Amino acid sequence: MSARAGIVVTGTEVLTGRIADRNGPWLADRLLELGVELAHITICGDRPRDIEAQLRFLAGEGVDLIITSGGLGPTADDLTVDTVARFCGRDVVLDAALEARIAEIIKPLMARFTGPGAPDFATVRAANRKQALIPAGSTVLDPVGTAPGVVVPGAPTVVVLPGPPRELQPMWHKAIGTPEVQQAIAGRTRYEQQTVRMFGLPESGLADTLRHAQQVIADFVRLEITTCLRGGELEIVTRYEPDAAAAYGQLLAVLRERHARAIFSEDGSRIDDLVAGLLAGRWIATAESCTAGLLAGRLADPPGASDYLAGGVVSYSNDAKADLLGVDPALIAEHGAVSEPVAEAMAAGALRRFAADTAVAITGIAGPGGGTPDKPVGTVCFSVALGDGTLLTRTTRLPGDRADVRERSTTVAMHLLRRALSTG
């Protein structure tokens, strides 16, 4: 059996759902990449008794490594380090060098606070002194913010990380390089991991293909396959030991044979990154009704978006469609605002308004009201227009509530855009 790990996510705000847990899933992916089997992810509040109960539970499950996140701040409810030290049977000691390092970090931060009522440096330093108290014999992970992490050797080894993802993620990469963690995961099984992404294929269709693959691939049992359907996209993640690469090659051949049109990525690339690459050297504009700017925001997410994103128009009302995009009111009166002719006119208007060579338009009924027998809630029309005259227009009915329809609409638009740019 491979080395095994458990994760303890602490924080009452996470336990109650006020803040979504981003650390548990992120750490789970990193462990998977390392070939470490994840036994459990647990979430508990900021109570020492509950944190210690999770640690004891995971130790009882025989894990080699426990990772905690959260509870490393200077306030009274940040008790993870004390609890881990007690669990590991170690005293808590002051690391003078770490205390000085934390002081260097907070000093420039204090310069931002001036005027009456601003805390003085000595007071803040005294409060942050708590963060320099570590379990005796542990290895310090330098702070990314003000909170250091620690690695406490033992059986199991415990890695204590801060709660903010922007601090936890870079610190994790330091943690796995320590001798203590390397020793704890020495028994891991080394795996290859590949991700295929599809769009427009129902899970039932993929399930049938995997049943077929099981019959025709001799070493199929050596492939660990997980599938996930998100917003109309299917993600197929396959993990296997390196000497089972031939079996994965056969699986990929089956997927290509049966679903060539649905596959849009064989190397794990996401649609947003693929579209960003295809937009290199182009100038794109958006015209959005029901999505009200969500697509423009999505196009702007990748670094370097200013090289290809001209701008967008949120034309929610019919007057806005006419005034901002030049859509003929007679066209709206004849076909309705949610129609392919209006979507095409919106795309053409965006091309003109931004002097662009690529445009995407979305108009639809997100609900919960506004639907008709002919155009029920979830009906959305899309149009992609290129400067060379290429036009790709589609109407689809999307499932889910208002938020689902709006979010899924951006995904459909991204895939239509990829198709138009790949063939145009």
The full set of domains in the chain, from first to last, is 4-185 (3.40.980.10), 192-269 (3.30.70.2860), 272-423 (3.90.950.20)
Report which secondary-structure segment, H or E, holds 383.
strand 379-386
C-alpha 244/C-alpha 394 separation (Å) is 41
**Which residues of the chain have a pLDDT value below 50?**
none
pLDDT for the residue numbered 189:
86
C-alpha 332/C-alpha 294 separation (Å) is 23
pLDDT for the residue numbered 117:
60
pLDDT for the residue numbered 118:
58
C-alpha 374/C-alpha 259 separation (Å) is 31
Q: Could you list the beta-strand ranges (E) of 261-357.
A: 263-265, 284-288, 309-314
3-state secondary structure of 42: strand
Q: pTM for the full model? A: 0.83
The β-bridge relationship of strands 4-10 and 284-288 is unpaired
- Which DSSP letter does residue 156 get? S
pLDDT for the residue numbered 40:
98
Q: For the chain, give the number of residues.
A: 424
As given in the structure block, the two tokens for residue 376 are 């029920």
pLDDT for the residue numbered 107:
75
pLDDT for the residue numbered 106:
78
C-alpha 314/C-alpha 363 separation (Å) is 10
Residue pLDDT, tens place only, 353-389: 999 999 999 999 999 999 999 999 999 999 999 999 9
Q: How many CA atoms lie within 13 A of 300 on its CB side?
A: 10
pLDDT for the residue numbered 231:
83
C-alpha 422/C-alpha 132 separation (Å) is 55
- Which DSSP letter does residue 248 get? H
pLDDT for the residue numbered 382:
98
